[in-house]
Structure 1
Amino acid sequence: MDLLKQYISVRQHSVDICVSLKTEDYVVQPIVDVSPPKWHLGHTTWFFETFILQPNCTNYRVFDPNYNFVFNSYYETVGARLIRTDRGNLSRPSVEDIYVYRKYVDAAMVDFLASTTIEKELQDLFILGLNHEQQHQELLLTDIKYILGHNPLFPSIDIRLEEQEINENESFLSIPEGVYKIGFEGDDFCFDNELNRHKVYLQSYKIQQRLVTNADYLEFIKDGGYEKFQYWHADGWEWVNKNKAKAPLYWYLIDDKWFTYSLDGLQEIRLNQAVCHVNFYEASAFAAWKGMRLPTEAEWEVASAHFQWGQRWEWTNSAYLPYPGFQKAAGAIGEYNGKFMVNQMVLRGGSVATPEGHSRNTYRNFFQPQHRWQFMGIRLAL
C-alpha cells in the first residue's frame, strides 16, 4: 500500500471508531488518564500538521494557531500546552470544529503526498505519525469504554471487538536455559524503544500457553484474594485498601452473579474469556496466589512464537528500561518514548482493541502499575 492509501485508511479508521458516539460522549473526561474522544481526534491531526505540513509545505497555513496549545500532548520542544487534567474542560473547539480541522489537514496532506517526493527521513516520520494515530485509536476505544462504562445507564455502542473463547487446559510450554536474542530486527517500522536487538541469558522456565480466564480469576476472588495481604506488593496492598478494590475494573456483583460492562452493555461474565482490565498489582497478586509469577518481557518474547497472543496486553515482571545502545532522537520526536522510562512496567502482545497490523512480538507497551483501563490481562510463568 502506498503512503497516500495508508494515510487515508488510517485516518478513516479513527472516524469510524467514533461514528456511533453522541455529541456529549466526545467531551467527557472522567479521570485524568482518560482523554475526551474529540481531543484524540484533534491531537492526531495536530501531529501531522505540526511535524509534516508546517516544516515541509511552504504554502501551508495553520488551521488555528491556538490548536498547538490545545492539542500538544507532552512535547516540551513544541511549546506550552494545556495540562492533561483540563482536556475535559474544552467545550470549544466544538466536535464540529474538530471534524472541520481533520478535513482541512487531510486535504493538505493528500495534496502534499500526491505532489511531493518523500525522502526517507520524512517518510520515517510520516510512518511514525500513522503508528501514533493507531496508538490513539486503541486509546479511543479504551477511553470510550471508560466513559460509557462509568455512565450509570451502561449504554451500549455499535463497536464490535473480536473476543475469543479459551477452552484449553492450563498447560505450560518449557523453554530451555540459554542465550537468546530479543528486540526488533528488520527494515519495517518499529518504535525506538524496540531497538537494539541484543542477547539475553535466560534460565530454563515454563510459560502458560493460554491466558488467565475469567473463571480462573473468579476463583482468586472467591478465595478472598483481595483480602489477603500476603499476595500483594506493598504498593499494591495500599492500592487495594485505598480504592476498596474487590474485582477487576467493570466487574459488578448483582444478586450473587458477576456482571461486566462491555461495549455491548452490561452482561453476565463469560467464564471462558480472558480476564481483562487488571493492573500490575492484581496480575502479580493472582500469580502469587497460584504459586507462580509473571514472565519477564524477555521470557515472553522468546516464547511468543509458540503460543497465541493478541487478545490482551499481557503484564510482564519487567520494568520499562532502555535496551543496550538506546538513543533518543533529536528534537520533539526524541520525547516519544525515552523520557517515560521510569516507574512503568512493560506489557507485551496487543489486544482486541489494537488496530490490525499494529502489533508485533517486539512491541513494548508500558503503563504505571496502578492502571487498568486498558485491555490488560495475565499469562503466568514458572
Structure 2
Amino acid sequence: MMDVKERIIAELTAARDRSFGLTVGALDDPELTSQVSPLMSPLVWDLAHIGNYEEQWLLRAAAGATAIRADIDDIYDAFEHPRAERPSLPLLTPAESRAYITTVRDQVIDSLEKVPFAGALAGDGFVYHMVIQHEHQHDETMLATHQLRKGAPALLDPPGPSPAAGTCEPEVLIPGGPFLMGTTDDPWAYDNERPGHWVEVPSFHLDTTPVGNAAYAAFVEAGGYRDRRWWHPKGWEWRSSSGKEAPGFWHREGGQWLRRRLGRVEPVPMDEPVQHVNWYEADAYARWAGRRLPTEAEWEKAASWDPVAERKRRLPWGDAGEADDHANLGQRLLHPAPLGSYPEGASAYGVRQLIGDVWEWTSTGFDGYPGFRSFPYKEYSEVFFGGDYKVLKGGSWATHALSGRATFRNWDYPIRRQIFAGFRCARDA
C-alpha cells in the first residue's frame, strides 16, 4: 500500500502526463501559441502557468527553495492578466515551457524526502493536493479550449463502447431534514468547502438524471428561446443580444440536430445529458417545464447524505470506490455518458450521475459558508464571493476523479457556455 508521499508522486506524474497529452503531445507550436477565443488562454500559457504555480507553492512555500524563474511570476499570474490579453505577453515557447515545468517537477520530487507533512500548509499533504487538483482543473480548461478550436480533431475517443443507458424513475423525493453541508476533515477539500455546517432542507423532488438532449431539444422546438415568459430578465437580454437559439455547438441541418465536438461534427445523441448551456438557458428550461433549478444545499444533500446511517458520504455511493464503475470522470469518455448510466454510482436516495458527465448549475450564488476562512490565499475563492457567480456541482466528463467529490464547488458567470455544464431540475414537495 502506498504511503502519502508515494501517492502524491503518482498523482503528480499522472496529472503531468495528462497535461502534456493535451498540449505538446497533441498540437503543433502554432496552435499552442494561438488564442482560439478571448475567453481562453493560449494553451502554452496554461502549460507554463501550471509549472509556475507548482514552483511557488511546492518549492518556495513548502520546501523553502530558491526561486527558479521569479522573473515570470507576473506573466503567469492569472489575476494580473485577464485571458484576453495573455497572447500579447512575452510567453515562454512550448519547448521552453516544457523544459521549465519539467525542471520544477524534478526539484519537487527531490524535495519531497525532506519536507515534513506538518503545519497548516503541508499537514496531510494539503498543499500538494491543492497543486495536483490545480493542474487537473487547468487540464479541464484546456479541454474547453480544444472544444473551441477549429480544425481537425486533435484528441481521439477512447476505444470501446460507452456505458449503456439505464432505466429509472424520472424523479425522486428527498425528504426534509437537516444534513451536514461541506466538510471539516477531507484532506483534499478547498477553503470554500469548509467549514462543515448543518443545514435544514425542506422536502423536494429532484430529477433522477440530468436533463437530456431530447428533452432540451423539445424546449428549443417549442419556441423556448423566443418566449420571454421563461427567461430571467438578464437572461432575456443575453439571448436577445447574442441571438442564440440552441445549446453551444449545436446546429440544425436537414431536419436533424448536429453538434461539433472536439473537431467532429456528429448527430446530437438524444440520450446524453445536454451540455454547453449557460445558467440562463438552464433556468429558462426549468421554468418552461414547470420546475426550477435545485439550490446548492438541495443538490449536495441528494448527492451526499445517507438518511439511514444519518451521516455524510464523500461520494454519492460511499466514501471511496473506483470512478470507473461509478461515474464518467477524467476523460474516460470525451462526452457525457447516456442517461441512467452507472447505477452503481447512485446516491443513497437513488439519484444517478450526480458526479461526472456534466457540471450542474444550481440556483445558488457563490459565497462563503458561515465561519469561512480564506486559506491559503484569497484569490482562490474569496475574491469571487458576492453573488455574481452561480455555483455548479458534480464535475463533468473532463473533471478528474480527485475533484469529483460531493462537496466540491465550481462557479462561473451565468452567461458562460464553453464549460461542460448542464443541469437537472427540482420541484417543491
Shared fold (TM-score greater than 0.5)?
yes
Question: Of 370, 380, 384, which residue of structure 2 is paired with 1:336?
Answer: 380
Q: Residues 371 and 277 of structure 1: is their aligned pair in 2 closer, same or farther, counting only changes over 3 Å? A: same
Q: Do the aligned residues in 2 keep the contact of 1:27 with 1:91 (CA within 8 Å)?
A: no
Partner of residue 62, structure 1 = 68
RMSD: 2.0
Alignment of 1:159-170 (within 5 A): 159-160=156-157, 166-168=165-167
Matched residue, 2:138: 136
Please report the TM-score for the alignment, with normalisation by the length of structure 2: 0.81
- Within a 5 Å distance, the mapping from 1:315-354 to structure 2 comes to 315-329=361-375, 333-342=377-386, 343-354=388-399
Aligned residue for 2:372, secondary structure, equals coil
Give the equivalent residue in structure 2 for 1:267.
266
* TM-fit CA distance, 1:255: 2.6
Secondary structure of 2:245 counterpart = coil
- Could you tell me which residue of structure 2 aligns to residue 13 of structure 1? 18
Name the residue aligned to 2:48: 42
Query: For residues 284-331 of structure 1, what are the alpha-carbon distances to aligned partners after superposition, in whole Å with 9 as ceiling and x for unaligned?
Result: 00001101011111111111223222111001111111111101136x
The answer to whether the 8 Å contact 1:179/1:200 transfers is: yes
Counterpart Cα distance in 2 of 1:111 and 1:191: 26
How far is 1:58 from its partner?
A: 5.8
Aligned to 1:125: 127
> CA offset at residue 356 of structure 1?
2.6
TM-score, scaled relative to structure 1? 0.90
Query: Are the counterparts in 1 of residues 48 and 92 from structure 2 also a CA contact under 8 Å?
Result: no
| Local SS of the residue matching 1:260 | strand
Q: Tell me, yes or no, if the aligned pair for 1:54 and 1:62 is still in contact at 8 Å.
A: no
Structure 2 segments unaligned to the other structure (5+ residues) = 304-346
Tell me the equivalent position of 1:373: 418
Q: 1:358 maps to what in 2?
A: 403
Judge which range, 156-165 or 363-372, deviates more.
156-165
Who is 2:357 aligned against? 311
Q: Which residue of 1 aligns with 2:237?
A: 238
Cα distance, 1:83–1:223 mapped onto 2, change above 3 Å: closer
Q: Which amino acid aligns with 2:271?
A: N
Aligned-partner Cα distance in 2 for 1:35–1:271:
32
Deviation at 1:371, TM superposition (A): 0.4
The 8 Å contact of residues 166 and 210 in structure 1, kept in 2 or not, is answered as no
1:165 positional shift: 5.8
* Equivalent position of 1:77 in the other structure: none
Identity %: 29
SS at match of 1:143: helix
| Cα distance in structure 2, aligned partners of 1:59 and 1:295 | 46
Partner residue of 1:107? 106
Q: CA deviation at 1:335?
A: 2.1
> What are the Cα deviations for residues 166-199 of structure 1, in whole angstroms up to 9, with x where unaligned?
4536611101222222112434310111111112
Runs of 4+ with deviation above 6 angstroms: none
Matches within 5 A, 1:254-293: 254-263=253-262, 265-293=264-292
**CA, structure 1 residues 347+30, in 2 after alignment: closer, same or farther (shift >3 Å)?**
same
Superposition deviation, residue 231 in structure 1: 0.2
Amino acid at match of 1:242: S
Distance in 2 separating the partners of 1:292 and 1:187:
34
Shift of 1:281: 0.1
- 1:261–1:103: structure 2 CA closer, same or farther, 3 Å change rule? same
Partner residue of 2:88? Answer: 89
1:377: Cα distance to partner?
0.7
Q: Which moved more, 1:49-58 or 1:361-370?
A: 49-58
Q: Which amino acid aligns with 2:208?
A: Q
Aligned residue for 1:201?
200
Asked whether the equivalents of residues 32 and 43 of structure 2 are also in contact (C-alpha less than 8 Å), the reply is yes
Q: What is the CA deviation profile of residues 49-68 of structure 1, one whole-angstrom value per residue up to 9, with x for unaligned ones?
A: 122223455663523x4311
Distance in 2, matches of 1:345 and 1:85, equals 22
Task: Check conservation: 1:346, 1:366, Cα contact below 8 A.
Answer: yes
Say if 1:23 and 1:185 are closer, same or farther in 2 by CA, change over 3 A. same
What are the superposed Cα offsets for residues 259-278 of structure 1, whole Å, 9 maximum, x if unpaired?
10112511111111110000
Q: CA deviation at 1:359?
A: 0.8
Gaps of 5+ in 1: 75-80
Q: Call closer, same or farther: CA 1:163–1:340 in 2, change over 3 Å.
A: farther
What's 2:320 paired with? none
- One-letter amino acid of the counterpart of residue 26, structure 2: S
**Conserved 8 A contact 2:45-2:91:** no
Assess if the C-alpha contact under 8 Å between 1:27 and 1:90 holds in 2. Answer: no
Letter in structure 2 aligned against 1:127? H
Other-structure match for 2:338 = none
Q: Following the alignment from structure 1 to structure 2, what is the Cα–Cα distance between the partners of residues 301 and 185?
A: 15
> Cα 1:61–1:287, aligned 2, differ >3 Å: closer, same or farther?
closer
Q: CA deviation at 1:238?
A: 0.3
Give 1:159 deviation, angstroms.
4.1
The worse-fitting range, judged by mean Cα deviation, of 32-41 and 120-129 is 120-129
Number of aligned positions between the proteins = 368
- Please state if 1:32 is matched with 2:38: yes
3-state SS of 1:125 partner: helix
Are 2:365 and 2:391, in contact at CA under 8 Å, matched by a contact in 1? yes
